[in-house]
């Protein structure tokens, strides 16, 4: 992925695309929020001043030629429920209170997104640019197989097989910075997520967890070709100049956005 400047903001842009597609992962730069949320904090669920967050979201949307109300995010709850938008909605603001962790749409001109600060934002789109999804993947979502559920839903609702899909896994916390304990292990063992492949034991009852690899393996298991899955190299915890990190900043931090829009 390459770092792209767009107006006042910058974002990581996947190498692959589709006709009319806009997709990427925002950075923390280009907004008006003050420390510790400086500067392009897009998360409404932080203790940052609401006026700053709304100003940042407006700046971000207008960088892509959109009015702010066309930027659609939801109330993420670390689950595996999906929001499907398959018809025009004149008012998108009510979706802010919908408790889901993935958005799928075939509607052009609206920017769907998930907010993160260590969890992984995953974008999925069809080669012909007629359907796209934005997915929030933390350890709970990975353990519950949210990515496979999204790919299945795209196929069922839009007759789009996984062979026609591309995916981009955005910046998240690297395994070398992400240590988990037995409850996380048990969740993976009772669910999915490829625990054996992604976990490295570092001490008794503690493991380093490679969530980016879990995302990739789940997408491949769902039927996406490995060559059609791109992964960002940046670890959120290791790049304070570029990305927010909940763990690094002990909870006092902003949120970046994984976003996609059909043309």
Sorted by sequence, the CB contacts under 8 Å of residue 156 that are 6+ apart come out as: none
Phi and psi at residue 69, to the nearest 5°: -70, -5
Q: Say if residue 94's pLDDT is above 90.
A: no
**Omega of the bond leading into 28 within 30 degrees of 0 (cis):** no
Token pair for residue 176?
Answer: 């070398």
Place 89 in a pLDDT band, splitting at 50, 70 and 90. Answer: confident
Q: Is residue 187 a part of any domain in this protein?
A: no
Does 48 map to a domain?
yes
Q: Alpha-carbon Rg of the chain, whole angstroms?
A: 17
Average pLDDT rounded to a whole number, residues 164-179: 98
| Global pTM exceeds 0.85 | yes
Is residue 79 domain-resident? yes
Domain assignment present for residue 156? The answer is yes
CA separation for the pair 263, 110 (Å, rounded): 9
Strand-strand pairing, 102-105 and 132-137:
antiparallel
In this model, does residue 192 exceed pLDDT 90? Answer: no
d(CA 139, CA 190): 13
**Does some domain include residue 185?**
no
Instruction: Kindly state the tokens that stand for 169.
Output: 């896994």
- C-alpha distances (whole Å) from 212 to each of 39, 53, 172 are 26, 28, 7
Count of domains for the chain:
1
Percent of the chain with pLDDT over 90: 95
Domain span holding position 69: 2-173+225-261
Secondary structure E strands in the chain: 2-6, 9-13, 22-26, 71-72, 82-85, 102-105, 111-116, 120-126, 132-137, 165-169, 179-180, 199-203, 206-209, 229-231, 256-261
208 in a structural domain: no
Residue 102 pLDDT > 90: yes
259 touches 4 (CB < 8 A): no
Average pLDDT over residues 40-64: 97
- When the pLDDT of each residue in the chain is averaged and rounded to a whole number, the result is 96
User: What pLDDT was estimated at residue 216?
Assistant: 98
Strand order in the sheet with 229-231: 82-85, 102-105, 132-137, 120-126, 165-169, 229-231
> Tokens representing 243?
């990305």
pLDDT of residue 193: 87
One DSSP character per residue, 43-80 reads -TTSSS-HHHHHHHHHHHHHHTT--GGGEE--B--SS-
* pLDDT score, position 91: 82
Average pLDDT over residues 112-140: 98
pLDDT at 249 over 90: yes
Across 67-71, 92-96, 103-107, 175-179, least confident range:
92-96
Task: Provide the CATH number for the domain around residue 116.
Answer: 3.60.140.10
Does residue 128 carry a pLDDT above 90?
A: yes
């Amino acid at each position: 992925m390459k770092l792209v400047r767009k107006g006042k903001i910058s974002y990581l842009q996947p190498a692959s695309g589709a006709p009319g597609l806009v997709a990427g992962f925002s950075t923390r730069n280009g907004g008006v929020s003050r420390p510790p949320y400086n500067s392009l904090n897009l998360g409404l669920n932080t203790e940052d001043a609401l006026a700053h967050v709304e100003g940042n979201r407006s700046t971000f949307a207008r960088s892509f030629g959109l009015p702010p109300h066309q930027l659609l995010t939801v109330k993420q709850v670390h689950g595996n429920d999906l929001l499907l938008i398959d018809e025009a909605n004149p008012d998108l603001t009510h979706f802010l209170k919908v408790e889901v962790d993935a958005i799928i749409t075939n509607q052009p001109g609206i920017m769907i997104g998930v907010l993160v600060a260590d969890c992984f934002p995953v974008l999925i789109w069809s080669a012909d640019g007629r359907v796209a999804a934005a997915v929030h993947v933390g350890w709970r979502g990975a353990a519950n197989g949210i990515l496979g559920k999204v790919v299945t839903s795209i196929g069922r609702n839009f007759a789009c097989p996984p062979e026609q899909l591309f995916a981009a896994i955005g910046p998240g916390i690297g395994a070398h910075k992400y240590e988990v304990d037995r409850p996380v292990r048990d969740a993976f063992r009772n669910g999915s997520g490829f625990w054996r492949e992604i976990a490295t034991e570092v001490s008794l009852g503690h493991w380093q967890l490679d969530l980016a690899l879990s995302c990739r393996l789940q997408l491949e298991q769902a039927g996406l070709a490995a060559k059609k899955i791109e992964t960002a190299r940046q670890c959120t915890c290791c790049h304070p100049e570029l990305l927010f990190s909940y763990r690094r900043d002990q909870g006092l931090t902003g949120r970046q956005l994984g976003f996609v829009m059909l043309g």
